[in-house]
Amino acid sequence: MPRCARSISGTNVYHIMLRGINKEEIFRDILDYEKFLKILKLAKEKYEYQLYAYCLMNNHVHLLIHVLQNNISNLLQSVGISYALYLNKKYERVGHVFQNRYNSKCVESQSYLLNVIRYIHKNPEHAKICLTENYRWSSYAEYMSQPYLADTENILKMFDKNIIQSKRKFKKFHLIDANDYEYVLEYEFLYKLSDEQVKKIIEEKFHISNVQEISQYNVEIRNDYIRQLKKMKGISKTQLSRILCLNRKIIERA
């Protein structure tokens, strides 16, 4: 069965997560972090994208990207290959560096956008590494000083037109003790089921042999099935859209 295409964001803004294969480290020293940032910067010249936020952790990367030409797959493939070539040569290793396909989530609203930015920047705190403002390998410092790679201007304007006030409010926004990250749905990354696992669950739950049959059912039955699946931990709306070959809006409205 051919693989369904990824859901496409109406805003062309995506929260991307790249994880090291088998959860292996993808950054072993300072030069590795610096190299990955340089690759992202060079990719800007070719793919014309805006980077609203990033955070490089030792075995995974978070990116919040606004693509201008709907070429997110080509962009990430180029970045992944370039970094893999560098890492394999430096450490005399072979094979893949990143795990399978990248995880992506469409960002369709301003509130979600800002919550994703905060979530990405606070990753070091969640991992109990250090405070957000002390972490070297995220875009948070670029918002507080001069940007090197991140496109901060439009985001800061959402807080205040005055640059000094906007930075103050941006910092305050990150200091909020937000234990409820329902907008970001962190569990989709930490406990996400694979497409094959979800397909098996659907087949067994609804006694069907082809999960895409659901898209042909009458609206009432189809939506009832979708509602049941949306309640299950580890299954995201984006994933259901991809597996069932249904528009994401249909999944959200069900």
Give the pLDDT confidence of 191-246 residue by residue, as tens digits: 457 788 888 889 888 989 899 999 999 999 999 999 999 888 678 788 898 899 99
> Does residue 183 have a pLDDT over 70?
no
The whole-chain average pLDDT of the chain stands at 85
Q: Alpha-carbon torsion 212, 217, 219, 224, what sign? A: negative
Give the pLDDT confidence of 70-88 residue by residue, as tens digits: 788 899 999 999 999 999 9
49 neighbors 43 (Cβ within 8 angstroms): yes
Q: Write down the CATH superfamily of domain 13-184.
A: Transposase IS200-like (3.30.70.1290)
**Token pair belonging to 22:** 């088998």
Query: Can you give the three-state secondary structure of 182-200, one letter per residue?
Result: CCCCCHHHHCCCCHHHHHH
pTM: 0.68
For the chain, give every domain's residue range: 13-184, 191-253
Residue 9 is predicted with a pLDDT of 52
116 neighbors 17 (Cβ within 8 angstroms): no
202 neighbors 208 (Cβ within 8 angstroms): yes
